[in-house]
A and B are shown apart, each in its own frame.
Chain A
Amino acid sequence: MVGIVGYGTYIPRHRIKVEAIAKVWGADAPSYERGLLLKEKSVPTPDQDTITMSVEAAKNALRRAQIDPSEIGAVYVGSESHPYAVKPSGTVLAEAIGATPEVHCADFEFACKAGTEGMFVCIGLVQAGLIRYGLGVGADTSQGAPGDALEYSAAAGAAAFIFGDDKVVAEVEETYAYMTDTPDFWRREHQFYPEHGGRFTGEPAYFKHIMGAARGIMAKANATAADFTYVIFHQPNGKFPQRVGKMLGFTKTQIEPGWLSPTLGNTYSGSSPMGLASTLDIAKAGDRILLVSYGSGAGSDAFIFRVTERIDEVRDVAPRTRDQLDNNKVYIDYGTYAKFRGKIRKAT
């Protein structure tokens, strides 16, 4: 049965606290901390981007998969911050991990859903017998405009998943997708920062699609919330995944292991895949996991996984997500953050 063969994540070391951002803009930090359950977010340094983070995450996935990288037949990178507008991220990643040249590459873009798209396609290709292994990555170094609500959450991180039908650590039991034309968040060509529809990004966008996909896949699998050990939803902030989980009948215990956003922020394409990786880090054989992503524009991909016994062999051969999140942190001030993110530039 097709499933996850290896998984890995990467989180940059640097962090900025919500309080440090709010102070600069004269904003009310408690309304972000309490209202959106956001404390701090990860920040990439100037030498890190979607490609470098994808490479780090993919290497961790390979460590767990314990396969020959040349057997990877597809490399898909999902991101809304591909370093190049024209020129693929996937080829750089494939070259770096030794998957070239007999490999199919494509870059995906669908706001925060691009990561699970690559995973979705890999599952299909493996199942069809077209490839032996497929690598799907979700990675972003997303930007919010200075002072905009998004600046408090837009973070950096990557998650990589290798799919195949042997050496499986989590079988794919079901997939489902739910899409509509809903313009809640966008960035046009040549725009540096995205725009969003404010409160419109909530009810008719995030909640409608996550609920649609979650209910759809549960109906397809004839399952209820109680049938899952864990659940991961896309995490644009700390609050939304908690709220949508409650609305769908899930408990905090089911959500907790994959709930990274309060101290990670929103890693966009990396967000829900990183939550899945963090959940696999503590999962046991037989656990059933529901993953529901969300991308503006808008749509959700949903997956049901069942963890196998192989999880115990691979769990600790690469860094755990929660360890990367909680340890070895470097806090920076807003000035350093603004420099790192290209919000200010040195005179030449």
Chain B
Amino acid sequence: MRDVAVIGVGMAKWGELWDKALRDVFVETALLAIDDAGVDHIDSMYVGCMSSGLFVGQEHLASLLADYLGIAPVPAARVETACASGGLAFRQGWMEVALGQSDIVLVSGIEKMTDVTGDGATYALGTAADQEYEGYHGITFPGLYAMMARRHMHDYGTTREQLAQVAVKNHRHGAMNPLAQFPFEVTIDQVKSSVMIADPLRILDCSPITDGAAAVVICPLDRAKTLGDKPPVKMVGSGHATDTIALHARPDITWLSATERAAEAAYKMAGVKPDQIDLAEVHDCFTIAEICVTEALGFVDRGKGGQAVESGFTALGGTIPVNTSGGLKSKGHPVGATGVAQIVELTKQLRGDAGDRQVEGARVGLAQNMGGSGGSTLVHILEAT
């Protein structure tokens, strides 16, 4: 297998992009990545997208996007594993380059979520849960994560304040990211008094509904040295694991075993341990998710995720800064794009291009992207060259 590097990244402003069609959002972002990479062609492309069918009524997405980008007839494939679709697209692209099937691959993620009503978006997202055993009983994702939060509070003494601190931290980071949907700070009191969604989760514990895309260009590491003028970032570890889609089928609903297993695989491949990670982008779709993820990744002991955010362990300037981009919470969560946007942030950080939110001396970064309530997880580890 060949070593693979990220040589270009692209992301435009996220938010309610009502004046752009899905294809426009994609083309704008893909061109940013292609320009950043300085390449003159693409051999193949992947796009991660959870549900263009339910959100905009469009399937057969990869060919459409390849056409509008002007790269047809190259092979193009859409991959889907709910909110982890972007992470999966990156893994597929990496495999294709590593196996020598293609040299220059465009990996993208996209979701256009605001062309439907709030109820329409809730329904589309809800299809990532077990429809027969969860969906039919009326549960939605805020409800599932609320149960995880309640149980975590019960088992480990995690507090309402600690949940709020995740939102406060990620908004503080996101305020330094001009591409974020909500680039402003929030206070603990604002989070705690925001509208109740599913007790104990309030609206400011939840990631938003977002339109947006992210894209990266990857190629063999040895070619990366001759392409473009920015330092390539090496892909050193990849892990992918699944778990029960239904939350109730797990032995412990606070433990994200797919994240644990995907991380184990990625750590093993990269030859690093959790304490060697300099920064991480993780899937904070709800504040409780980040707490559970930092535990499953081995950054902190089981049950200590709440204390980790409270102590500043996961803040910019802390031991392992988590979600310097603002995370899903502040940056936004166009579900299919999220996993690729995490790679965009790590690449900027490992190049030393992250501006005000730069983690000093960052060498090794980790991205964790999960689908549903943790039924699928992708973990990637990147290293500066």
Contacts and interface: CB of A to CB of B under 8 A. Distances in A.
Interface of A: 28, 31, 195, 197-200, 203-204
Contact of A31 (B16, B117, B118, B195): B195
B18 interface: yes
B138 to A, nearest CB: 13
Q: Which 4 A-B pairs have the closest CB atoms?
A: A31-B195, A198-B117, A28-B195, A198-B118
Range of interface residues on chain B?
A: under 10
A200 B18 contact: yes
A321 to B, nearest CB: 33
Nearest to B118: A198
B196 interface: yes
Contacts, number: 15
A312 to B, nearest CB: 48
Nearest to A197: B117
Among A31, A198, A203, max chain B CB count under 10 A is at: A198
Given A197-B117, A198-B118, A204 B196 contact: no
A197 B114 CA distance: 9
A28 B199 CA distance: 13
A199 B16 contact: yes
A205 to B, nearest CB: 10
Contact of A28 (B18, B19, B117, B196): B196
A144 to B, nearest CB: 14
A203 B19 CA distance: 12
Contacts of B195: 28, 31
15 contacts: A28-B195, A28-B196, A31-B195, A195-B117, A197-B117, A198-B117, A198-B118, A199-B16, A199-B114, A200-B16, A200-B18, A200-B114, A203-B16, A204-B18, A204-B19
A278 to B, nearest CB: 32
A204 B118 CA distance: 17
A309 B196 CA distance: 53
Contacts of A198: 117-118
B223 to A, nearest CB: 44
Contacts of A31: 195
Given A197-B117, A199-B16, A200-B16, 12 more contacts: A28-B195, A28-B196, A31-B195, A195-B117, A198-B117, A198-B118, A199-B114, A200-B18, A200-B114, A203-B16, A204-B18, A204-B19
Nearest to A205: B18
B139 to A, nearest CB: 16
A253 B380 CA distance: 58
Contacts of A203: 16
A335 to B, nearest CB: 25
Nearest to B116: A198
Interface in B164-189: none
Interface in B279-308: none
Contacts of A195: 117
A28 B117 CA distance: 19
B241 to A, nearest CB: 36
Contacts of B117: 195, 197-198
B203 to A, nearest CB: 9
A199 B18 CA distance: 10
A195 B70 CA distance: 37
A211 to B, nearest CB: 16
Nearest to A182: B18
Contacts of A200: 16, 18, 114
